[in-house]
Amino acid sequence: MASMLLTSLRSSPLTSVQAAQFAARSLSTSVHLQAQAKSKKTLAKPGVKNIVLVDGVRTPFLLSGTTYADLMPHDLARAALQGLLNRTGLPNDAVDYIVYGTVIQEVKTSNVAREAALGAGFSDKTPAHTVTMACISSNQAMTTAFGLIAAGQCDAVVAGGVEFMSDVPIRHSRKMRKTMLSLNKAKTLGARLSLLGSIRLAHLSPELPAVAEFSTAETMGHSADRLAAAFGVSRLEQDEFALRSHMLAKKAQDSGLLSDIINFKVPGRDIVSKDNGIRPATMEQMAKLKPAFIKPHGTVTAANSSFLTDGASAVLIMSEEKALAMGYKPKAYLRDFVYVSQDPKDQLLLGPTYATPKVLEKSGLTLNDIDVFEFHEAFAGQIMANLKAMESDWFAQTYMGRKTKVGAPPMEKFNSWGGSLSLGHPFAATGCRLVTTVAHRLQKEGGQYGLVAACAAGGQGHAMVIEAYPQ
Q: Which residues are catalytic?
A: 135, 455
> DSSP states of 128-139 as a string?
EEEE-BTBTHHH
Distance CA 373, CA 462 (A): 13
Runs of H (alpha helix) within 255-318: 283-287
Residue type, 273: S
Distance CA 204, CA 271 (A): 40
Distance CA 181, CA 175 (A): 10
Nearest to 163 by CA among 383, 342, 393, 429: 429
Dihedral of CA atoms 295, 297, 298, 303 in degrees, nearest 10, equals: 90
Distance CA 118, CA 126 (A): 9
Q: Which residues pair with 452 in a beta bridge?
A: 374, 464
Instruction: Mention every residue, 6+ apart, whose C-beta is less than 8 A from residue 351.
Output: 136, 340, 342, 453, 454, 455, 456, 459, 460, 461, 462, 463
CA atoms within 13 A on the CB side of 407: 10
Residue 18 CA: distances (Å) to CA of 38, 83, 96, 106, 395: 26, 43, 49, 44, 18
Assess whether the previous peptide bond of 206 is cis (omega < 30° from 0). no
What distance lies between CA 190 and its chain's CA centroid?
53
Residue type, 357: P
What distance lies between CA 32 and its chain's CA centroid?
24
Distance CA 217, CA 211 (A): 9
The 3-state DSSP class for residue 182 equals helix
Distance CA 252, CA 239 (A): 20
The 3-state DSSP class for residue 260 equals coil
Inter-residue contact 415 to 242 (CB < 8 Å): no
Inter-residue contact 451 to 468 (CB < 8 Å): no
